[in-house]
Amino acid sequence: MQKDKPTFIIQRVRLRQEKGLKTLVVDQGKCTGCRRCELACSFFHFEVYSLARARLHVVRDGELEGPVVCIQCGLCQYACPVDGAIIRNRKTGAFLVTTKCDLAKCYAECVNACPYGVIHVDSKLKRAIKCDYCGGRPSCAGSCPWKVIYYIDSGSPHALHNKRLVEIRSRM
């Protein structure tokens, strides 16, 4: 038996099956680690190609690697003590970090609350950032030539049995 080896986990997420909402689905078996998804994300939001400013991250686990994306679970909103700092976009279902995000008041509680490590503080904006589905047209999904990331209806069978790499910042 190997000790504490990170593993790929099939995560069964009870997704919102509300009509019209979509979710990102990842097929890590196809990922080559090119990081085009990260670059497309940062360019969409900041008009700069920067792995550090992307709102998703490709993570390596042994011989496999793949993007870790926000599943829009809402734990960030629940953890944030600042009213209105994280809101839900009614059109896409994504949780959005607003300009009301004040690190002096919230101490980045949303970052600590995220079990997937996909929320982080942007040093230039001086606030938390996370996936917002690019307003309903995720650039990560559109930029992947291997179709690793799909943006599909949340009620789809593919969404309900999504393979995801879970990389947790601190093991509890």
Q: What is the pLDDT of residues 58-111, one digit of tens each?
A: 998 887 789 999 989 899 999 999 999 999 998 899 999 999 998 888 888 999
* Residue 2 domain-assigned (yes or no): no
Same domain, 78 and 117: yes
* Residue 37 domain-assigned (yes or no): yes
* Residue 14 domain-assigned (yes or no): no
* Residue 147 domain-assigned (yes or no): yes
pTM for this structure? 0.79
Same domain, 111 and 142: no
Q: Is residue 163 predicted with pLDDT exceeding 50?
A: no
Provide the residue range defining the domain that includes 114.
73-130
For the segment 20-44, the average pLDDT, to the nearest whole number, is 91
Q: Domain holding 147: CATH number?
A: 3.30.70.20
| Residue 49 · residue 80 · CB < 8 Å | no
Same domain, 77 and 102: yes
Q: Is residue 5 predicted with pLDDT exceeding 80?
A: no
pLDDT at residue 39, rounded to an integer: 98
pLDDT at residue 21, rounded to an integer: 82
Distance CA 57, CA 69 (A): 7
Higher pLDDT, 160 or 50: 50
Q: In which band, very low, low, confident or very high, does the pLDDT at 158 lie, cut at 50, 70 and 90?
A: low
* Residue 6 domain-assigned (yes or no): no
Domain count for the chain, please give it: 2
For the segment 14-43, the average pLDDT, to the nearest whole number, is 82
Same domain, 23 and 98: no
What is the average pLDDT value for the chain, to the nearest integer? Answer: 81
* Residue 99 domain-assigned (yes or no): yes
pLDDT at residue 87, rounded to an integer: 96
pLDDT at residue 45, rounded to an integer: 97
Rounded to a whole number, what is the distance in angstroms from the first to the last CA of the chain?
Answer: 21
pLDDT at residue 159, rounded to an integer: 59
Same domain, 119 and 83: yes
Same domain, 78 and 116: yes
Q: In which band, very low, low, confident or very high, does the pLDDT at 153 lie, cut at 50, 70 and 90?
A: confident
Q: Is residue 142 predicted with pLDDT exceeding 70?
A: yes
